[in-house]
């Protein structure tokens, strides 16, 4: 299937590359179908693009929160697991939406509203954690890297 995007031009993907969000995303409830694209096809990166299939202009930068916060805690209840079709101990992918400002060293990830992906069934859901342990704007780079970049 081919479709137009604002950022990547015309792209071609297969149906199996589409991830379905039955509830959409918070603030984007009508956006229910996305595909994941490399952040930069020529460079290995911990970031990816999550491109909307419905809206050509809508793409989010996402990353695996465990790369930046190794002790990140995401406890899914059995009812939560069912919402993304997970069996008892089936593994799943976790992604966080990233905001990259002009000073890229100050990029942040939303650790409060992770995206849980059942890649075998190609379904996903954004959950909101009720614990006050995390921030919606968690800095991904350490303070010393942010202050060094700001001074250049």
* Ranges 1-5, 50-54, 75-79: which has the least confidence: 75-79
Strand 123-126, strand 138-139: pairing: unpaired
Q: What's the pLDDT band for 101 if we cut at 50, 70, 90?
A: very high
Q: Does the structure show a pLDDT above 70 at 151?
A: no
pTM value is 0.91
- Domains of the chain in sequence order: 2-150 (2.30.290.10)
Identify the residue with better confidence: 17 or 75: 17
Give phi and psi for 123, each to the nearest 5: -125, 150
- Contacts from 52-61 at CB under 8 Å and sequence distance 24+? 52/28, 53/3, 53/18, 54/30, 55/31, 56/3, 56/4, 56/5, 56/6, 57/5, 57/6, 57/7, 58/28, 58/31, 59/5, 59/6, 59/7, 59/8, 60/97, 60/98, 61/97, 61/98, 61/99, 61/100
Vertex 104, ends 58 and 45: CA angle to 5°?
70
Q: What's the pLDDT band for 47 if we cut at 50, 70, 90?
A: very high
pLDDT for 126 equals: 96
């Amino acid at each position: 299937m081919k479709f137009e995007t604002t950022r990547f031009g015309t792209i071609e993907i297969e149906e199996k590359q589409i991830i379905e969000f039955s509830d959409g995303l918070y603030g984007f409830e009508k956006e229910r179908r996305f595909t994941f694209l490399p952040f930069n096809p020529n460079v290995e990166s911990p970031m990816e693009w999550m491109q909307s299939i419905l809206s050509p202009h809508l793409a989010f930068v996402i990353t695996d929160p465990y790369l930046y916060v190794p002790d990140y805690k995401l406890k899914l209840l059995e009812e939560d697991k069912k919402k993304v079709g997970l069996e008892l101990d089936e593994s799943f992918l976790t992604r966080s939406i990233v905001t990259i400002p002009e000073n890229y060293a100050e990029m942040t990830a939303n650790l409060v509203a992770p995206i849980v992906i059942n890649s075998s069934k190609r379904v996903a859901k954004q959950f909101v954690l009720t614990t006050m342990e995390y921030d919606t704007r968690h800095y991904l780079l350490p303070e010393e890297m942010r202050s060094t970049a700001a001074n250049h």
